[in-house]
Chains A and B, each alone.
Chain A
Amino acid sequence: MKNMNDIFKSMRESINPDDNVKEKLYRKIERGEIPMNKPAPKILKWLPLMTAACMLIVATAVFLPMFGALREQLPPEGGNIDYLNEPNFTGAVVSVYENGGILIKTEAGNPYPDSTLITSSVIAGDEFFVGDIVTVYYDGMLMESYPVQIRTPHAIELISRDRRHGDYYADEWVFDAYETHYLNTPDWAETFVWTNGQVSAVYGNDEQFLFSTNGIIGGIFVADLTGDGKIDFIYLYFDGSYEYIMLYDYVNDTSYSIMNIKDTYRLSLDNGKIMVNETTVLSFMGGRLVTAVTEEEVPPPNSEPVISEPMYFVERNENAASEEFYPEIFLYPEGFFTFNVNLWEGLSKVHGTYERVENAYVFTVTYRDFAGFTGDDVEEFKMHLMLGADALVYEGAQIGMTEDGAVFYMSEMPSVSYLHKFIMALPSGDSDSVAVVHDTRVMERYEAAKLAELTVDIVNLLDGNVMYMSSSWLDPWADLYGGRKLESINQIDIIYMYKGDGGAVFQVIAHCEFDIDDGRNEVGIEYTIVDIGGGGATGNLEWQVLDIYFVK
């Protein structure tokens, strides 16, 4: 029986590159040649491809119609460059096609006045990237189409590559954050050291702390996602319950949570974009991690979370009987909130307004529909942002089962049927004689135009007009002011009406500020409808007006 260890040892001693390979290397180093992602083209390497190109002529025939009919090879009209004697040109890749081929934008007039060329068939979809600078060596044969085409390039040499997005440097990095790892990249001179749950950059004798982690890190990528010319870290972070995609911006020394996810995902780089993939099938192609499973591009982070649509946060409170009884809070873009609280004996609601104060939201309670339970005297509370606003930490007096320090996680908005448009008659602003007159169209989420109509209607109603049909009556509104022309509506705060699965609960806060020729006017109403009795278009509502104001 032969001993493989001994054989390995003897193999190790004899493995060395040939001297001529080393000499070539030394010459390149001495000449200061820029390293490229692949070696300079060798005709030998391209020979089989050229043969393959002939075999793929059928595929080419399918590909070509995208860019115009192939006609006999002709010099382009007006072209006065003798390109038959200039069988190469340099340009930038502007498109890469999955079925082979790249579109190259060349310097004006070289070799074709229109300056755009495409090669076909022989190039795999992942050999080149948009932005690459390449030199194409070919036989001088151009196929006239738009854009003109080269079918059989001798070689395509990668001259330089925009490394903005870098490459991935890990494929199976799921490790304990408390081990020490070195992250070295060809693109940046710093060495990044990951030890004891923190990441530092080392350059010479200097060591700079960057960020710390307290969970499991996986799928780390380094890239310049923010486009500032410096390295960023993009990594998966697992806090024991949820995974997050985090981005650390080196220049601004800031961490963002780009996305929170609930299952096992991986990051990958695809054509210069960071992708998040649900991982079942992973493979490497062209030095990049790809997957057969559907993938989604990770959006660049916002430096400041901007609420452009309602946000929904859930407290996964173990005291709740089941998920449907979890306390939850809705934040609407215009500064209103609805807090569904759990009082143990049932769910109830808190409404009001909120504003962003530094790294927290401050909530002012304007309405609650319960009394005699814990929290019925709460006037204000706070929610601190954590993990880049993907979660909120509650600070304030206990409300139902929600205690100080409770964490609310951002979640997908629940499916609810809303918004109904209710027109209410408020004769002379007298809250004692209000009548509900109409229930009209269903709105899809937040349709500003319809809401504006509704506000205008309310303006009418506040002025004593009882309308029996909702409308976008601007004329009657103008009539209210003696036929004077409406100059502009400066501001309409959106009205919210929420209808949950277990019945309808609405909160309406309307505010309209507008200009008529005699100056600024404002009107507003805030009311809550807490129940619906009966049905049909004129169902009975139990409602409560919180505030009505009219300023002229």
Chain B
Amino acid sequence: MSLTQKTFVPYTETTENAREIVEKYQQMVYGLALSRAGNKFDADDIFQEVFLIYFSKDRAFREDEHKKAWLIKTTLNCCKRALGSTWRKKTTSFDDRPELSYSFTSKEENEVFAALRELPEKYRTVLHLFYFEDFPTEKIARILGISGANVRMRLKRGRDLMREKLKGEYEI
């Protein structure tokens, strides 16, 4: 086998190792859902839906990164479905209900999360993938289907907006 030849070992998941899979990716899926939804109520639903879709068929992935990309894309799609409906736009948001908002341990974390929640969706997603998942911009571009330059532009504008919302108290 030459060094450049790739071997694809398909991952096949069964319900037996469902817990293992969920534990491994829960932070990524739930974090993204929470970032997009802004409240615990919807994030819980989206989190469950993503993994239910995941386990609904035998899926084959080329590699672990491929699986992560699938989970992120599916999470984003589920967020769009869950958060973009007219029903939702016509009803009162649950975000303000204290028992449904997500609470972090420190004041700074809650301040940053509140500022993040207020950002337009496109900046929020890019910031989340960059800072929470440590993804390079080119990878974010592939996941979101936009150009790398576009990702970097969104990062810059997102950071600027964060600074503005946090009144310059934070360095980013």
Contacts and interface: CB of A to CB of B under 8 A. Distances in A.
To the question of whether A and B form a pair in one complex, the answer is yes
Interface of A: 1-5, 7-8, 10-12, 14-18, 21-22, 24-26, 28-30, 32-39, 48-49, 52, 123-127, 167, 169-176, 179-182, 184, 186, 189, 191, 202-205, 207, 284-288
A204 B80 contact: no
Contacts of B108: 2, 7
Q: Which 7 A-B pairs have the closest CB atoms?
A: A287-B81, A124-B86, A35-B52, A173-B145, A4-B172, A284-B84, A184-B70
B170 A4 contact: yes
Given A189-B59, A205-B8, A287-B81, A127 B87 contact: yes
Given A10-B109, A17-B43, A39-B49, A5 B172 contact: yes
B169 A1 contact: yes
Given A1-B169, A191-B62, A191-B66, 18 more contacts: A2-B108, A7-B108, A10-B109, A12-B132, A26-B22, A29-B52, A48-B91, A126-B85, A171-B145, A173-B145, A173-B146, A175-B141, A175-B147, A182-B70, A184-B69, A284-B84, A285-B86, A287-B84
Nearest to B91: A48
Nearest to A13: B27
Contact of A191 (B61, B112, B141): B61
Contacts of B90: 52, 124
22 contacts: A4-B162, A4-B170, A7-B106, A7-B109, A11-B109, A11-B113, A12-B31, A16-B27, A26-B22, A28-B48, A37-B81, A127-B87, A172-B144, A173-B146, A175-B145, A181-B142, A182-B69, A182-B142, A191-B66, A286-B85, A286-B87, A288-B84
A126 B87 CA distance: 8
A180 B69 CA distance: 13
Contact of B106 (A10, A16, A184, A189): A10
Contact of B171 (A2, A125, A175): A2
Interface residues of B, number: 68
Residue of A17, A33, A52 most packed against chain B (CB within 10 A): A17
Contact of A286 (B30, B57, B61, B81): B81
Interface string B1-41: 00000001010000100110010001100110010000000
Interface string B67-104: 00110011001001110111101111000000000101
Contact of B57 (A26, A38, A189): A189
B20 to A, nearest CB: 11
B118 interface: no
Contact of B44 (A10, A18, A184, A284): A18
Nearest to B143: A182
Contact of A25 (B52, B58, B85): B52
B153 interface: no
Given A25-B47, A124-B86, A286-B81, A182 B53 contact: no
A169 B73 CA distance: 8
A7 B112 contact: yes
A33 B85 CA distance: 23
A29 B51 contact: yes
Contacts of A176: 147
B94 to A, nearest CB: 9
A7 B14 CA distance: 36
B106 to A, nearest CB: 7
Contacts of B150: 172
Contacts of B172: 3-5
A8 B108 CA distance: 10
A29 B87 CA distance: 28
A397 B80 CA distance: 57
A130 to B, nearest CB: 17
Contact of B26 (A22, A127, A204): A22
B41 to A, nearest CB: 9
A29 B18 contact: yes
A11 B86 contact: no
Interface string B107-150: 01100110000000000000000011000000001101111001
A256 B92 CA distance: 45
B78 to A, nearest CB: 9
A4 B112 contact: yes
A363 B168 CA distance: 74
B70 to A, nearest CB: 4
Contact of A17 (B47, B61, B66): B47
A30 B51 CA distance: 12
Contacts of A33: 52
A38 B81 contact: yes
Nearest to B44: A21
